[in-house]
Each structure stands twice: as C-alpha cells, then as structure tokens.
Structure 1
Amino acid sequence: MEDMTRSRTITRSVPWLLWLGWKNRNSIMYAETQESTERLLRDMVDEAEQWFKLNNVLTPDIDGRACLQSGDSWSPPEEGRIKCNIHANWRNASLHSGIAWIARDHYGKVIHHTRDAIVNAPNRLIAEIRCVIWTLTSLSDLGVTNVIIASDYNEVMEAIKLPLQWPRYRALLHQITKLKENFVTITFEGETIQTNGIARDIARSVLRDGRFQSYLALGGPSWLQDRIAREETRSRD
C-alpha cells in the first residue's frame, strides 16, 4: 500500500479486497453461493472509490501533493461531437437493473441525461447491451448524429466491435448494428470506473432510491452538479 510506483486505485483498494474476499468466503460456506472473480474485483474498486469520495480523502503523490493519476480524469470529445457515458447497474437476474446515460459536448457541458429501469436481464452483459440499444435509440430520436459511446464494461465494447465472436448475443448485437446506421459518425470507447463515475451513480440511484420512473432531462442531475462542474473545469485545462 505504500508502494508509490503503483496506481492509486490499486494501493488504496487493498482493504476492500480483503473485506470482499471475507464476504465471498462466508457466502460459499453459509449460503452456497459464489460471485465471479471479475464481479468481486469490480465491486472492490467501486466500493473503495465511493468511500474516498464520501469522505473526501485525498491521497498524496510522491511530492506530498494531492493529484489526479493518469486516466483518472474524464476527457471530452473533439469539437462537433457528443460524448455519451453509459452504465447498467445489474445486480442479479431477479431484480430490475438501473440504466443511465449522460451526454456532454467538447466543453464538458451536459446536454442531456436520462435514466430508466429494465427487467429480465439474466446477466450483466445483456443488461449493458440493452442499455446501449436504449441509448442509441434515444440519441437518434434527439437528432444526435456524431457521438462517442463510452462504457467501463470492456466486454460490451468488445462484443459491439466483434459481434461474430459473441454468437450468443447475436440478435441484440444486430439491433446495435442497425441503429448505428442512424449516425454520421459513432465510436465506442472504453472508460475507467472513475471516469465513468457520474453515469454509474445515476444508474445506481434507480435501485438505491427506488427511482423507477424513466425521464429525459436537459443538463445534469442537481445532486451531481458539483462533480459535473469539476469534470467540466478539468476538461478545459
């Protein structure tokens, strides 16, 4: 944890790795269930990031100053394009999944944001693909023609770019292929959990706060305005 050559995300996540490992052990022993390693590691990073955000803890760099590590800052699109960060908050096949997207211009200014709830998603990848379909449909209806779709879930990005390697999801991926025809330019990019944090928080609010009513709004949500403003400022630096 004191090795400053490693990324901040890794060094400060160690306690959560131990804690989630303990929880997984109890699930195996007493509930006969086990989460996937991938999901556990994602939860670990997510839990650590949320704790540090809520407690406003700053991690000093080698010179003793608090700073953003490379890749920790949301990056805007080039001028003339819209960047749309998306997320599907999938818990399990029995619960609703919260989905959300937030679209910003090259200044980092929020154009629109929206959230909704979906049902009957047997796994996270299907929830994420359905989130992409919903996002593309919404953007097309709004007249957006040049867009970047950004997600921190690498598998959905890979499935969209190489659909033939994901035959199990062929029908859903075909819908995305057809929707792409509605755009002049469309790019799919990977994000880190940190840089996709605002979209993640909007999606999580669906289940956390029982906000199952879908909506589309201009600008960003009021309860995230401070973070949106910080990311907008950084994007202009």
Structure 2
Amino acid sequence: MSRVKLIGDMKEEIEQWFQLNNISSSEVTANTNLQHCESWSPVENGAIKCNVHANWINAHLHSGVAWIARDHYGNVTHHARDAIVHAPNHFIAELRCIIYAMTSLSDLGVTSVILSSDYTEVIEAIKSPLQWLRHRGLLQQVIQLKEKFQTITFEDEKVAANGIARDIARSVLRDGRFQSYLAMGGPSWLHDKIAREKHPSNI
C-alpha cells in the first residue's frame, strides 16, 4: 500500500471518528438537557424555591397538600403537609395548597420565594386573576399574601421535577397523616431522593 493511500485511509478514518463522536456528543447533550428539564433544579438568585402539590382524589375525600422549600444549594429548609376537606376539584385544592404554603412561608419569615406547581392552569390563574373570576375569592387571598413578600414568583414545574412534593402529599391519605405538620429539613423517608435531586451528577 502506498504512503499516499495509507494517509488517505487514515484521514478518512479520522473524519469518520469525528463524525461519530459529534453525533454521540449531540445525543449526550440532548439527553442531558432533557434530564435537566425533567428534574428538579434550584434557583440561581439565592431565593427559596418552594414546590407544592395537592393530592386530590374526589370531592368526598380529604385531599393531601404539601410543600417543600429548598435554598439555592438544594438544601431543604422546611417541609409541611396537611389534609383539607371540601375541595370540589383539583384546581381549588391546588389553590388552597398554594395559600397554605404562602401563609406558612410568610410566618417563617421568608421574604423571597419562587413557588412552583405542576398544575399549569393554577399558575396561569394566579398570573391573570381577572380571567379566572370564578375563583376570585381564593385568588384574592393569593394577591393579599403576595404583599407579605419582597419578591415572589410563580412558576410551572414538570411533574417529574415536582416528585418530592407529590410524595409528601400522597402520604397524607396513604398513611393516614391527617394532622397538620411543619418541620425543618426534609422528611427522613425521602432523604435519598432529596439527595439525588441535590446532586444529580452523582446519579
């Protein structure tokens, strides 16, 4: 085999290697971005991020509501759960859960918070209350509670990224935990899951 032919073959193999690795790198990047979108992430501005969820089944049963607050390092500052009654639908249960979280955070002295829910319609209603007049009573409570914070933002959260709040809310009915409960830190039975969300690179 001539030197020219050998060099040509080597160049072709190198080009193929780079092409393959570029494709692979793109796939890894895409998967990483997807994972980031689907997993919990802390806020970057030093505010507290509070995830909420209402586990509503029907109008005749209690609904489990819960929230969990974490700082910009992913450390849990507080979490809480409660059981509410007379929620005719999931929308109202979620709104009442948000009011519960806002009241608790205000009482704890939190002044800057990003409140996240995977119930998109509720977040839309809070941002545009005049378009949701049917729920103006509860939305007015949210507006009044907003005055207690220096900054408060309401954000959509992916269902997968709201897993901890969902797990705590589900435990209310599943384990019969109907008494209101507020604690520092996170629940011990979710320690591993919280740690994985705090350090996703270790997964």
Is 2:148 the partner of 1:205?
Answer: no
Q: Distance in 1 between matches of 2:123 and 2:146?
A: 14
Is 2:93 the partner of 1:127?
Answer: yes
Higher helix share: 2
**How many Å apart are 1:72 and its aligned residue?**
1.6
One of 134, 140, 145 as aligned partner of 2:106: 140
Q: Which amino acid aligns with 1:155?
A: E
**How many Å apart are 1:80 and its aligned residue?**
2.4
Q: Which amino acid aligns with 1:143?
A: G
Q: Distance in 1 between matches of 2:97 and 2:136?
A: 16
SS class of match (1:98): strand
Q: Which residue of 2 aligns with 1:171?
A: 137
Residues 76 and 235, structure 1, Cα contact 8 Å, conserved in 2: no
Q: Distance in 1 between matches of 2:84 and 2:142?
A: 17
Q: Which amino acid aligns with 2:134?
A: R
Q: TM-score, normalised by structure 2?
A: 0.82
Tell me the C-alpha RMSD between the 2 structures. 1.9
1:134–1:235 Cα change, 3 Å? farther
One of 74, 78, 94 as aligned partner of 2:60: 94
Q: TM-score, normalised by structure 1?
A: 0.70
One of 186, 191, 196 as aligned partner of 2:157: 191
Percent identity, please.
70
Q: Distance in 2 between matches of 1:102 and 1:191?
A: 13
**How many Å apart are 1:197 and its aligned residue?**
0.4
Q: 1:17-50: per-residue Cα shift (whole Å, max 9, x none)?
A: xxxxxxxxxxxxxxxxxxxxxxxxxxxxxxxxxx
Gaps of 5+ in 2: 1-26
Residues 79 and 105, structure 1, Cα contact 8 Å, conserved in 2: no
Gaps of 5+ in 1: 1-61
Q: Which amino acid aligns with 1:199?
A: A
Greater Rg over alpha carbons, structure:
2
Residues 75 and 235, structure 1, Cα contact 8 Å, conserved in 2: no
One of 121, 125, 138 as aligned partner of 1:155: 121
Q: Between the two structures, name the one with larger relative contact order (CA 8 Å, sep ≥ 6).
A: 2
Residues 107 and 235, structure 1, Cα contact 8 Å, conserved in 2: no
**1:68-83 map, 5 Å:** 69-83=35-49
Q: Distance in 2 between matches of 1:159 and 1:147?
A: 18
Q: Distance in 1 between matches of 2:44 and 2:150?
A: 15
